[in-house]
Structure 1
Amino acid sequence: MAFWREARIWKKAKHPNIVPFFGAYCRGPNYFLVCKEAKNGKLRDYLKSKRQTVWQKLYEAALGLRFLHQRNIIHSDLKCNQILVGENGEAMLTDFGLSYISDESRPSGGVKGAVRWKAPECLRAKNPSEPTKEADVYSFGMCVIEAVTDRYPWGNLLDSAVMHHLQKETFLKQPPQFSEAQWVFVKSLCAFDPLRRLTMDAAVKEVKNFARQEKKKVGHETPFTFEPQPESELEDSDDSESD
């Protein structure tokens, strides 16, 4: 049963950057997972008034994901609303409903989870890949884009259009909120070839560096103001289309 699988996996995931799990309750038709309240809510909501901590929070989330991967746990549904913020400002991963331990049986039944955060190989029409650590890394890259821009990856494009662009290996253009080095990092998380993506060990080191740079800038620049950007921000490509 998916409920007990989630409870069992969450119980194993004890880390400062994972929402603490207290237990599970099942009686009749009622099923409950009990966890600690994340008093500062979802990451994107928290960052609206804490823009100077974006990379620090991403670093903390990366630590949580690295911990899962070190224990061969695949999250499989990572996006910013699965990253919560505790009362002390710590970013924590949550929601293990689609997660599994890599050496055990995986949840069955087609593509699950939000399309615009999914790795391209998991969205193929023929022989889609099962979720992997590399697919989690891609999803983390989408979370980086979402957190830094305060917008969903791929803007207002329909999921079908997102899948079309991924099939043609057309990626997003660099948003103005990213430096060149930061965007190179994102593309190394979201490489179309899963084997060319960073591991979470390497990703943690990169994000930590950006968090340090961010901290140095605090107090030396005017506060960041988010300005929505046009929706058509795909990389230039001869065969790219904007739907």
Structure 2
Amino acid sequence: MRREGYELDSQIGFGSFGIVHAAFVTEGPHLQEKVAVKIIELEQFPNHNLEKIRKEIQIMRLSSHSNILNHHVCFTSQTQLWMVMPIMDCGSVGNILKCFYRNGIQDECLVATILKEILQGLNYFHEHDQIHRDVKAGNVLLSREGKIYLSDFGVASYLRSGQNAKTFTGTPCWMAPEVIESENNAGYDFKADIWSFGITAIELVKGAPPLIDYPPMKIILMIRNSDPPQLGKEDDLDSSFKEMVNSCLQKDPSKRPTAESLLKKRFFNKARNCEYVNNHLTNILPALEEMVSIPRLFAGLVRDRNNSEADSWDFNLSSGNNSKVKTEDPLAGIGTDEEDPLDTLQEIDY
């Protein structure tokens, strides 16, 4: 695989590991298919961050579920790592909330559908001894067709039977109490994801998670020392929704339901299919490029590697590609167990 097989279009996302471009395949049978390309500058990261990237690639490659984001192929280009993935052209649920639903989504069927799809992906994760550790609306992606995917597996971890994780990781507002106390207790297991799922459910109906207005350290202290957030009579929400959320937000992890048992909750009888999500949400959203604001810091992150004597930024990577003859299929690795480009990185015991 090589970078010349893709024509990069607009930047549609960014994160601590790099930027994401919309792109078009320029060779092979998938000619002009639209994909997403995450581009990571490997030289910018210490080894422990590279381990997170390697872990995300492995999880995406080995997962096979309709609600888990997979990747087509992954390859290195000099000091860059390119991850080619299906394009989620409505972005994240978190971004949709910020742009269009600041007070939350009022359509109960839509909320139930989104949460059920997340939960199905989470249940698959847990059945395969994986813990996500960063469940939130910002890590739930939507396609224009209304399909919903759990994504961002950089801090996910494999838990052997009877084993607990002890790494302090995640996003403060969504972190379970036992994750915050993990260094001082027996650690945490899959039930930490259930807490985060409950917070995500509140985020969907209110537009933001509890404690969002506080600084991170204050949030962590409040989660550790205060009673868990609970939905009560003053919350004008469906009773079955409140019961489902409150069951997730028990401070004692053993009192929380599993993902499998949550799927049997009465609230999820309201869930519909991806066609409903399309008709009531994704079909009315503008193009992703109009919803995403890329900070100047990330603009032009992709360097022109074709000219080794120049250290300039290449803002038009598609120029000149049409004159070259190409026979290699950039998506030929779809569904295959291709070699992990980061396989040789040192393992870190989480």
Deviation at 1:88, TM superposition (A): 1.3
The 1:66/1:161 distance shift into structure 2, 3 A limit, reads same
Measured against aligned partners, the alpha-carbon deviations of 1:131-190 in whole angstroms (never above 9, x if no partner) come to: 521111111111111111111332312222222222224222527243333222212112
- Report the Cα distance in structure 2 between the residues aligned to 1:176 and 1:67, rounded to whole angstroms: 31
Corresponding position: 1:197 with 2:256: yes
Question: Partners of 2:63 and 2:183 in 1: how far apart?
Answer: 33
Partner AA of 1:138 in structure 2: W
1:3 is the counterpart of 2:53: yes
Q: Which has the higher strand share?
A: 2
**3-state secondary structure, aligned to 1:21:** coil
1:23 matched residue in structure 2: 73
The answer to whether the 8 Å contact 1:190/1:197 transfers is yes
Tell me by how many angstroms 1:13 deviates. 1.5
1:69 paired residue number: 126
Within 5 A, what are the aligned runs for 1:158-173? 158-173=215-230
Amino acid at match of 1:95: D
Aligned to 2:208: 151
Cα pair 2:166 2:188 within 8 Å, conserved:
no
Structure 2 vs 1, CA of residues 125 and 13 (structure 1 numbering), >3 Å: closer, same or farther? closer
Name the SS for the 2:133 alignment partner: coil
Aligned counterparts of 1:109 and 1:29: Cα–Cα separation in 2 = 32
d(CA) in 1 for partners of 2:74, 2:203? 31
**Counterpart position of 1:182:** 241
CA distance in 2, matches of 1:119, 1:109: 12
Q: CA deviation at 1:84?
A: 0.7
Preserved CA contact (<8 Å) 2:167 2:179:
no
The answer as to 2:137 corresponding to 1:80 is yes
Hey, what's the Cα distance between the residues in 2 that align with 1:7 and 1:128?
30
**Structure 1 counterpart of 2:150, from 73, 86, 93:** 93
Q: How far is the alpha carbon of 1:14 from its aligned partner?
A: 1.6
1:114 alignment partner, one of 171, 178, 189: 171
**d(CA) in 2 for partners of 1:88 and 1:187?**
31
Aligned length in residues: 212
Structure-2 change in CA distance of 1:27 and 1:2 (3 Å)? farther
Aligned partner (choices 114, 136, 145) of residue 57 of structure 1: 114
Question: Which residue number corresponds to residue 195 of structure 2?
Answer: 138
Change (3 A) 1:30 1:127: same
| TM-score after normalising by structure 2 | 0.55
Distance in 2 (CA, whole Å) between partners of 1:4 and 1:70 is: 22
Q: Aligned-residue CA RMSD in angstroms?
A: 2.7
TM-score normalized with structure 1 length: 0.77
Query: Unpaired segments of 5 or more residues in structure 2?
Result: 1-50, 273-279, 281-350
Whose helix fraction is larger, Structure 1's or Structure 2's?
1
Against the structure 1 CA distance between its residues 72 and 173, is the aligned structure 2 distance closer, same or farther, given a 3 Å change threshold? closer
Q: Is the 8 A contact 1:43 1:91 kept in 2?
A: no
Seen in structure 2, the aligned counterparts of structure 1 residues 171 and 109 have a Cα distance that, compared at 3 Å, is closer
Distance 1:132 1:25, change over 3 A: farther
